[in-house]
A and B are shown apart, each in its own frame.
Chain A
Amino acid sequence: MLDFLKAPVEEFQDFILLGFRATINIFRSPHYADDIFQQMDIIGVGSLPIVIMIGFVSGVIMAMQMGRALSQYGAQGEVAEFVSISLVRELGPLLTALLVAGRNSSGIASEIGSMKVTEQLDAMRALGTDPIQKLVTPRLIAAALMLPLLTIISDFIGLIGGWVVAHILLHIPGSYWTPAWQALVPNDLAQGLLKPLVFAIVIAMVGCFYGIRTTGGTQGVGKATTTAVVVADIWIFVLTAMIDRIFLYL
Chain B
Amino acid sequence: MDLPPSTAGAIVRFDDVSLRFGDTPGLDGVSFEMQAGETRVLFGAAGSGKTTLLKVALGLLEPDSGHVYLFGQDISHLKEQALFDLRARVGILFQEGGLFDSLNIEENVAYPLLNQRVLQAAGSGNGDAAKAPAKTVEERVQEALNFVELGQTLEKFPSELSGGMRRRVGIARAVVTTPALLLYDSPTAGLDPITANTIIALLLKEREMRNTATIMVTHRYLDGHLMANFRYNSSSGKMERAPNVAEESATVKFFVMNEGRLVFDGSEAELQDAQDPYVRKFLRHGSS
Interface residues of A (CB under 8 A from B): 29-30, 114-115, 118-120, 122-130
Q: Is the CB of A126 within 8 A of B96?
A: no
Choice from A118, A119, A126 contacting B87 with Cβ under 8 Å: A126
**CA distance in complex: A123, B101 (Å):** 12
A contact residues around B122 at 8 Å (CB): 29-30
Choice from B96, B118, B130 contacting A119 with Cβ under 8 Å: B96
- Does B171 touch A at the CB level, under 8 Å? no
Nearest chain A CB to B273's CB is how many angstroms away?
Answer: 36
Q: Is the CB of A128 within 8 A of B119?
A: yes
- Does B236 touch A at the CB level, under 8 Å? no
**CA distance in complex: A244, B112 (Å):** 48
Q: Is the CB of B94 within 8 A of A123?
A: yes
Chain B minimum-CB-distance residue to A126: B92
**CA distance in complex: A130, B84 (Å):** 9
**CA distance in complex: A84, B92 (Å):** 58
Q: List 5 A-B contacts (CB under 8 A).
A: A30-B118, A30-B122, A115-B100, A126-B60, A127-B111
Nearest chain B CB to A148's CB is how many angstroms away?
Answer: 27
**CA distance in complex: A59, B112 (Å):** 51
Query: Which chain B residues numbered 96 to 142 have a C-beta less than 8 Å away from chain A?
Result: 96-101, 111-112, 115-116, 118-119, 121-122, 125, 130
- Does B80 touch A at the CB level, under 8 Å? yes
**CA distance in complex: A35, B92 (Å):** 25
- Does B58 touch A at the CB level, under 8 Å? yes
Nearest chain B CB to A27's CB is how many angstroms away?
Answer: 12
Q: Is the CB of B96 within 8 A of A127?
A: no
**CA distance in complex: A185, B98 (Å):** 53
Q: Is the CB of A30 within 8 A of B119?
A: yes
A contact residues around B60 at 8 Å (CB): 122, 125-126
Q: Is the CB of B112 within 8 A of A127?
A: yes
**CA distance in complex: A153, B112 (Å):** 41
A contact residues around B87 at 8 Å (CB): 125-128
- Does B225 touch A at the CB level, under 8 Å? no
**CA distance in complex: A220, B137 (Å):** 37
**CA distance in complex: A124, B121 (Å):** 18
Chain A minimum-CB-distance residue to B92: A126
Choice from A123, A126, A128 contacting B100 with Cβ under 8 Å: A123
Q: With A30-B122, A122-B55 given, is the CB distance from A129 to B98 under 8 Å?
A: no
Q: With A29-B122, A30-B122, A122-B55 given, is the CB distance from A128 to B98 under 8 Å?
A: no
